[in-house]
């Protein structure tokens, strides 16, 4: 069983400018009246103040792209969960494959970041996913279950408060996309793992992230265990993102 309404989250990655952000949000808010799904934008940290202002009184929640595993201290360049909360951040992405790959984030680090976010009432969007080599070796299920297990082990008592995003690494920014059947297969595995960990698992949204766009969103979102999307490049185009939000609202 999935949550009743879909959740669509835009991940701007390292893109944006003050002017471009204002224009994009204006276009989104102008067209969002017909949308009933939940939505959020995860933006680069320098733009949190601007976005807090632009999204005030809108139906679009604000999200951050990362959070420190530490509460405070001598960690130059890091942003703590309390700092994010000061900007009315509702969601934060943790364990994105780009963080795991380029910044050597371990499963334990991702679990600790999840814990920090939950401690201040921010919903972590926990990313899991396999590389092409791991998929070809038949290790997809083992990899995603290991990644999620670390988060469950550290946060088991409140695991129902997280969001999970399945993002096959081979389908991020490549134009490749898991077929709806491939996505559903992995989402079902994750759903089963969450249900084994919590009686409240039906509250947990499991998003698909991996080159979801306006053309393929409907087929992916039609799968029984796909509760929404973590959208990269397409979320930087107002028309495309709105199109996907409307699909998710059906």
8 A C-beta contact, residue 236 and residue 197: no
Q: Which of left, alpha, beta for 74 (phi over 0: left; psi -120 to 50: alpha)?
A: beta
| Mean pLDDT, rounded, of the chain | 95
User: Helix/strand/coil (H, E, C) string of 136-178?
Assistant: HCCCHHHHHHHHHHHHHHHHHHHHHHCEEEECCHHHCCCCCCC
109: its two tokens: 């680090």
Res. 191 pLDDT band, cuts 50 70 90: very high
8 A C-beta contact, residue 102 and residue 131: no
151: in domain = yes
- 228: phi then psi, degrees, rounded to nearest 5: 155, -165
For the cut 70, the answer to whether the pLDDT of residue 86 exceeds it is yes
Q: What are the beta bridge partners of residue 247?
A: none
**First-last CA distance in the chain:** 17
- 141: phi then psi, degrees, rounded to nearest 5: -60, -45
Number of domains in the chain: 1
Identify the sign of the CA torsion 18, 20, 21, 25. Answer: positive
2: in domain = no
Cα 245 to Cα 90, 173, 231: the distances in Å are 18, 20, 11
1: in domain = no
The average pLDDT across 151-179 equals: 91
82: in domain = yes
8 A C-beta contact, residue 155 and residue 197: no
161: in domain = yes
| Domain at 116, CATH number | 3.20.20.70
For position 1, what pLDDT does the model report?
A: 61
Active site residues: 96, 167
103: in domain = yes
Res. 78 pLDDT band, cuts 50 70 90: very high
70: in domain = yes
Of 67, 122, 59, 121, nearest to 91 by C-alpha is: 122
As a whole-number percent, the residues of the chain with pLDDT over 90 amount to 91
For position 173, what pLDDT does the model report?
A: 75
For position 135, what pLDDT does the model report?
A: 93
The boundaries of the domain holding residue 175 are 7-248
Of 152, 99, 91, 156, nearest to 124 by C-alpha is: 91
110: in domain = yes
The average pLDDT across 21-30 equals: 97
For the cut 70, the answer to whether the pLDDT of residue 248 exceeds it is yes
CB count within 10 Å of CB 161 equals 18
């Amino acid at each position: 069983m999935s949550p009743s309404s879909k959740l669509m989250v835009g991940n701007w990655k390292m893109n944006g400018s003050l002017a471009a952000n204002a224009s994009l949000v204006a276009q989104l808010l102008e067209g969002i009246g017909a949308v009933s799904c939940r939505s959020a934008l995860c933006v680069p940290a320098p733009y949190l103040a601007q976005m807090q202002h632009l999204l005030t009184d809108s139906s679009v929640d604000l999200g951050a792209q990362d959070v420190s595993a530490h509460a405070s201290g001598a960690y130059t360049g890091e942003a703590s969960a309390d700092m994010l909360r000061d900007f009315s951040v509702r969601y934060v992405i943790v364990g994105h494959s780009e963080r795991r790959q380029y910044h050597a984030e371990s499963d334990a680090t991702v679990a600790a970041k999840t814990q920090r976010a939950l401690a201040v009432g921010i919903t972590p969007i926990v990313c899991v996913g396999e590389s092409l080599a791991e998929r070809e070796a038949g290790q997809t299920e083992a990899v995603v279950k290991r990644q999620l297990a670390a988060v469950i082990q550290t946060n088991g008592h409140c695991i129902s408060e997280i969001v999970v995003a399945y993002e096959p690494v081979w389908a991020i920014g490549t134009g490749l996309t898991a077929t709806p059947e491939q996505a559903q297969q992995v989402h079902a595995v994750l759903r089963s793992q969450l249900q084994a960990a919590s009686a409240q698992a039906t509250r947990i949204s499991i998003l698909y992230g991996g080159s979801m766009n306006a053309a393929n969103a409907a087929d992916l979102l039609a799968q029984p265990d796909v509760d929404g999307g973590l959208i990269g490049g397409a979320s930087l185009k107002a028309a495309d993102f709105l199109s996907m939000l409307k699909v998710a609202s059906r």
